């Protein structure tokens, strides 16, 4: 799953401290040795290098994936799962998502060089070499699979392998440069954390996590296509046929609205499938109407070329919607109703 803005980490420079007045001989005071310029430079380089490796993993995407994992585990447990299991799943999920994102950066470095919003990524600037990034991404992926198999369970490990494969091979290598529907099917990888989280608790799947899977699957186009509308010229210059590149604003906005309707339907389907309370039902319905209103607003503005689309408003709204919905999912099992 891709969508959010790139990370830009620029470490602050360090300056030597100004030495104070000398101590009197009669009352000696301990003096802190001043750091040498070479040490400061080495530390600064280390910070820059670490920041570059972290940036390759796209931390903001990982944050969004983890937001969906923990509530799903709580729902599967119908309460708070063992803390050790939650932490183990988050560690493995972070490593797996980081692996997929690093390999995506490695494969898309030619595209990233063309687009303004990605041209500061470490592989473009030369901070990290392609070979180092490839080794880094593979190592993270292998480590995540071994971790899941040994610490969580093998079923979750297989689902994790599928998520990495879908994102790296299915989306990045096959779909992204060939079809306007790339983000739809490639977005399946972003839906996998709910299946992984559920299987980490139950070692199985049921219709409830499938409904949550559907929520994220249908949420992905309304989340990503507004961003693509904003940067359509950059995608066109890079040769990536995102739907907003090959279709008009009205069609894109209409499809965004259609996917949003399906997303809300999946969120409400969770009520009977997971025996959710009326609190969740009301909250999911209200959040759904709020998001649909935003999608409808984009569609109405798209029909009038003189109106500003305000597509980024819907992009940010989509993040807020998903976060709040899964917060309600996490709270619902604890409600005495």
Q: Domain check: are 277 and 177 in the same one?
A: no
Of 105, 132, 131, give the one whose Cα is nearest residue 119.
Answer: 105
The CATH number of residue 62's host domain is 1.10.357.140
End-to-end CA distance of the chain: 35
pLDDT at 224: 95
The domain in which residue 180 lies consists of: 51-193
Which of 169, 193, 217 terminates a domain? The answer is: 193
Q: Domain check: are 173 and 76 in the same one?
A: yes
pLDDT at 22: 36
Q: Domain check: are 130 and 231 in the same one?
A: no
pLDDT at 43: 83
Query: CB-based contacts of 163: which residues, under 8 Å, 6+ apart?
Result: 96, 100, 189, 192, 193, 196
pLDDT at 287: 98
Q: Domain check: are 81 and 184 in the same one?
A: yes
The CATH number of residue 275's host domain is 1.20.120
Examine residue 118 and state whether it is found in any structural domain, yes or no: yes
> What confidence tens digit (pLDDT) does each residue in 192-205 have?
999 999 999 999 99
Residues of the chain with pLDDT under 50: 1-39
pLDDT at 6: 38
Number of domains in the chain: 2
Examine residue 44 and state whether it is found in any structural domain, yes or no: no
Examine residue 46 and state whether it is found in any structural domain, yes or no: no
Examine residue 80 and state whether it is found in any structural domain, yes or no: yes
- Structure-block tokens of residue 121: 């990524």
Examine residue 19 and state whether it is found in any structural domain, yes or no: no
> What confidence tens digit (pLDDT) does each residue in 142-152 have?
999 999 999 99
- Structure-block tokens of residue 161: 């392998």
Which of 193, 220, 246 terminates a domain? The answer is: 193
Q: Cα dihedral angle (288, 5, 141, 132), rounded to 10 degrees?
A: 180
pLDDT at 45: 82
CA angle (49, 55, 59) in 5-degree steps: 140
pLDDT at 40: 59
Examine residue 22 and state whether it is found in any structural domain, yes or no: no
Q: Domain check: are 165 and 298 in the same one?
A: no
Contact 262, 214 (CB under 8 A): yes
> What confidence tens digit (pLDDT) does each residue in 153-163 have?
999 999 999 99
Which of 193, 221, 252 terminates a domain? The answer is: 193
Q: Domain check: are 178 and 117 in the same one?
A: yes
């Amino acid at each position: 799953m891709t969508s959010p803005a790139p990370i830009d980490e620029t470490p602050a420079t360090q300056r030597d401290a100004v030495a104070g007045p000398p101590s009197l001989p009669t009352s000696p005071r301990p003096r802190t040795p001043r750091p040498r310029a070479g040490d400061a430079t080495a530390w600064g380089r280390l910070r820059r290098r670490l920041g570059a490796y972290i940036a390759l993993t796209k931390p903001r995407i990982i944050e969004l994936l983890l937001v969906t994992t923990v509530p799903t585990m709580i729902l599967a447990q119908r309460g708070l799962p063992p803390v050790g299991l939650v932490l183990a799943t988050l560690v493995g999920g972070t490593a797996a998502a980081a692996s997929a994102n690093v390999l995506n950066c490695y494969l898309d470095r030619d595209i990233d060089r063309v687009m303004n919003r990605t041209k500061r990524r470490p592989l473009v600037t030369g901070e990290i070499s392609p070979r180092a990034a490839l080794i880094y991404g593979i190592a993270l992926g292998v480590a995540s699979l071994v971790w899941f198999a040994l610490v969580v369970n093998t079923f979750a490990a297989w689902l994790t392998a599928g998520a990495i494969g879908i994102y790296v091979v299915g989306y990045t290598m096959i779909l992204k440069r060939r079809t306007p529907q790339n983000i739809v099917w490639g977005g399946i990888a972003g839906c996998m954390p709910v299946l992984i989280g559920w299987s980490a608790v139950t070692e199985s799947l049921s219709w409830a996590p499938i409904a949550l899977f559907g929520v994220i699957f249908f949420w992905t186009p309304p989340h990503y296509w507004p961003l693509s509308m904003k940067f359509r010229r950059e995608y066109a210059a890079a040769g990536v046929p995102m739907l907003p590149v090959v279709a008009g604003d009205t069609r894109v906005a209409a499809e965004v609205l259609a996917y949003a309707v399906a997303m809300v339907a999946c969120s409400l389907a969770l009520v009977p499938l997971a025996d959710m309370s009326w609190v969740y039902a009301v909250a999911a319905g209200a959040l759904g109407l709020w998001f649909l209103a935003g999608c409808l607003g984009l569609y109405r503005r798209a029909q009038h070329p003189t109106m500003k689309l305000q597509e980024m408003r819907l992009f940010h709204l989509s993040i807020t919607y998903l976060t709040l919905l899964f917060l309600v999912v996490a709270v619902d099992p604890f409600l005495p109703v």
